[in-house]
């Protein structure tokens, strides 16, 4: 993702890469990082924590695309958003964020007693976390729309389960292999009918485009925790 974002930014005359970062820190002096500078983080939880600290120290807006954050790190994100504007999303694709809205609308209209929900996702062999952050976001959209806690409904492994599927459960399947950019399907499974809502990414550049769109949108915003729904103006799920 870093390479994709850098290529797009380098090709846009309105954008400039002010600094780059790695596990050892930022390569350019902090005095360069001012004005309309936005920090974009697509890394891993440990590096994301460093980026959060740097963002607060220098008062930089931040785009967070890193997934797999634990509760402690998410609390750090929430705390940082009191001081700087942050746009955090499990997926920066325009299509996926519209899918989140559609899934919430459908989940609210179809009762858990009549329609079961299963979420399937496929990613390339190098992806570490499973299920994907996007799959979990889709599941949370379902749970929220039905007025339930996602933690009470999520099922990640049925291997040891010797019972029928409970009402309201949200099941997950994760597939890893090849170079798949990302595919997500939400199944609403009823008696005699099935509704499928899906998004398939064929090029990771869509995520980079979305991240840069979010970065532009953040400039001048007051501190707060924003989502791609805010950036797109489609309303929060």
Tell me, yes or no, if 123 is annotated catalytic: yes
Q: CA-to-CA distance for 205 and 200, rounded, in angstroms?
A: 13
Q: CA-to-CA distance for 144 and 108, rounded, in angstroms?
A: 9
Stated length of the chain: 237
Coil/strand/helix, residue 82: coil
Q: CA-to-CA distance for 116 and 190, rounded, in angstroms?
A: 6
- From the candidates 127, 150, 159, 209, give the one annotated as an active-site residue: 127
For the sheet containing 224-226, what is the strand order?
39-41, 62-64, 85-88, 224-226
Beta strands 224-226 and 194-201: pairing type?
unpaired
Contact 143, 104 (CB under 8 A): no
Q: Is the peptide bond before 131 cis (omega within 30 degrees of 0)?
A: yes
- From the candidates 123, 124, 162, 209, give the one annotated as an active-site residue: 123
Q: Please list the active-site residues.
A: 123, 127
């Amino acid at each position: 993702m870093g390479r994709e974002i850098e290529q797009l930014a380098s090709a846009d005359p309105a954008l400039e890469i002010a600094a780059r970062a790695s596990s050892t820190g930022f390569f350019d002096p902090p005095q360069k990082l001012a004005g309309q500078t936005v920090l974009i983080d697509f890394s891993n939880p440990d590096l994301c924590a460093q980026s959060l600290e740097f963002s607060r120290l220098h008062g930089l807006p931040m785009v967070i695309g890193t997934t797999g954050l634990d509760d402690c790190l998410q609390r750090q994100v929430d705390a940082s958003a009191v001081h700087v504007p942050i746009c955090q999303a499990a997926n920066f694709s325009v299509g996926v964020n519209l899918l989140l809205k559609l899934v919430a609308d459908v989940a609210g209209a179809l009762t858990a007693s009549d329609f079961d929900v299963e979420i399937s996702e496929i990613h390339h062999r190098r992806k570490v976390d499973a299920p994907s952050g996007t799959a979990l976001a889709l599941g949370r959209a379902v749970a929220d729309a039905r007025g339930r806690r996602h933690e009470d409904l999520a099922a990640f492994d049925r291997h040891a389960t010797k019972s029928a599927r409970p009402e309201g459960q949200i099941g997950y399947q994760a597939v890893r292999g090849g170079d798949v950019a990302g595919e997500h399907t939400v199944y609403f499974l009823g008696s005699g009918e099935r509704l499928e809502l899906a998004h398939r990414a064929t090029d990771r550049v869509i995520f980079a485009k979305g991240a840069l769109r979010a970065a532009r949108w953040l400039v001048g915003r007051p501190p707060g925790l924003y989502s791609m729904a805010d950036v797109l103006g489609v309303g929060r799920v």
